[in-house]
Structure 1
Amino acid sequence: MPEQYYYTEVQPVKCIEIRVPLVIESVDVEAVIDNVLTLPELAIKVDKIRASVRDLTATPVFVDEAHHGHGYHDYDGYHDGKHGKYGKHDEYVLVHHDSHHPHRDLFLKKIIVNGILHKQIFYVNKNNEVKHTAEELSFSKLVELDEPVLIRHKHDVFIQFRHVDVDMNWELHRACRIHETAVIQATARVSEDRKIFVQTCPSPDESPVGNLLRDGGLEAWASPYAPVFWGASNVSQCSTAHSGSFAAEIGLLNTQLPGALFQMIHKKIVGDRQYRLTFWVREDVLGATSDFSLTAEVVFYDQYGTQIGIGTQTLSSTGIPDNSYTQVQFATPVTDESVDSIMVRFNFMPGTGNTNTVKIDDVVLECMRKRG
């Protein structure tokens, strides 16, 4: 069995279930095939024999621990006698390969190896000509494990062969009969497909590239008040864009009420990094009173939805131009390693008597490369 150990994480980690083959036993197999072949004509000598093994397969033999003390019984009706045919007395019960006993501990006790020995025989006939003939012999070998191996699900057990080798010896008798002895050696590797959980984590040297936001240009709208990939409150579609066809205008529905534009990000999130938010902003003058603030936030959450960090930048209405777009950019603090999702949010907070709105366009959130 592989080495096992237990490790307690200091922080919550994300794990996924995968299915992997686990090698549970490795068995040496040796089969001796003794055979006499009659050649189609008289021969002076056998020049060479090339041998190979084909269609090598193995069938596992499973057993169940017997606690009743009455020898070996197959639960499907088979009886091996008083002392049993397989294993030691009063320890195991043979279980058919296709039987179903989900509530019993099953063990792998033996494997039955089957294959075909293929031979290419080259001989010299009485006319001193090199001739050829072929032969195939089926063989079977029962191999018992030193100790039974506990398995979880017998239908997930499979056997593969490695280091298959054939050693041929022969002797020519009576000018037409060859006495052949083949020794087949191989290693049978018994594996079982098992489901395990593994921790997933990004490479410490890699950061996602590009804009993590969907539709950062705010071009996709389901209606004049609902951008497709953003959540919105008191937001309207605007054709005065920094680039493209549209931008988002916050506060246009009611300049006296708060407004918000936000998006959640769940993919390509890397912990222990800084993130950079870049956007373009412009004030829309609709009246005489310009009294509002705009706060841009990058909020970090763990897998349970608990806020674990935030980066913010607040702009007053006096710092936002009303005749052209200006670019704003800021970097967040370094995130916690357990960060699982990010929210980018713009909050519009009007003062008393405010009459103006703010436009947002070309929003980009980037993960900054970790400094060595």
Structure 2
Amino acid sequence: MPNGNFCQLVKLHVVVGEQVASLTVENVTCPDEQVKKVDHIDVVVRDLEASPVFTSPMAGESIGPMDTVHFYDPTYTRPSLLRRIVVTGTIHKQVYYVNKHDDVRHMPEDIPFTRTINFTPPIPVLNPNNVEIDFRNVDIDLSADLMGRNKIRQIATVSFLLKVMETRQIWAVICTPPDPDNGPVLGIEEETFEEWIGDCPAFWDCINVSPSPDGRTGLAAALGTCTTLPASLVRTVPGIVAGTTYELGFWARSIKVSAQVCEFTLVAQQMFLDAAGNVLTTAEQTITSNQLNDTYRQFRFTGTAPEGTNSVMISFVFTPQPWNGCSALIDDVTYGPVL
């Protein structure tokens, strides 16, 4: 790569959602002898497992195989929504009570349970085969009281944090040591928007953006998922060298979402920042919806980093009219010094 970096495909555990949940399990224990009082009950939760329920735009609702950690189902190969999980487990108890002779007795019992936990809103995942569900901060609260002479009613409340993780392959920029003579020069060799975290491309921050299958090759970033609301796609690139001229290149087109006309502006910007994050200067290019159609068009413009520059913020800002019915697609972004 001309900027001294290279891309490496890495595999990461990405947290795609989490939810605090609780469930209540009630049961009645009947010792074989008369009970004067409950002394105490030792309780622990064992064998927590989860079975996910996914839905797909192309298929009906399905339940994945039950597994504590991994869920492997070869039918799941498309992006899906995790709507709920079925939690199973066992409440293991050691019940200590006082009988009519004032002797402390004890009896063990295991109470299995099954409960459904819903996710609102559903959690989007790229591939359900790679989803892991982890139980964190598991706690149990138990209350007990006597019912008659030999019945002990118990109410157990189990609480936990559900953490949903997905193993994803992401292209990461690997930085080589800086040249001591020329300093570090970083950039974006080619951003094709093939790796997404939810509705945002990896390494980018975004508002009102979603993946589109209408890319030049593969996916594109659609600005204006809701066509009447503003959208933005932003990424900060470190290691910019003062006095160097940089070029931002990208391909763009419009795509009609509703029957309304296309009426928006798309502004591409290079905002040069100092070490404190203050904007020193901005280079930008404004594109109107009249300049775009259903065919991709390439745009390029340059900006020179002023003295004191530490990094650059690259942004694409989509501003629609209230009656706009189109989105703007961005693909194949490049950024680097003009050689």
Q: TM-score, normalised by structure 2?
A: 0.48
Higher normalized strand content (fraction of residues): 2
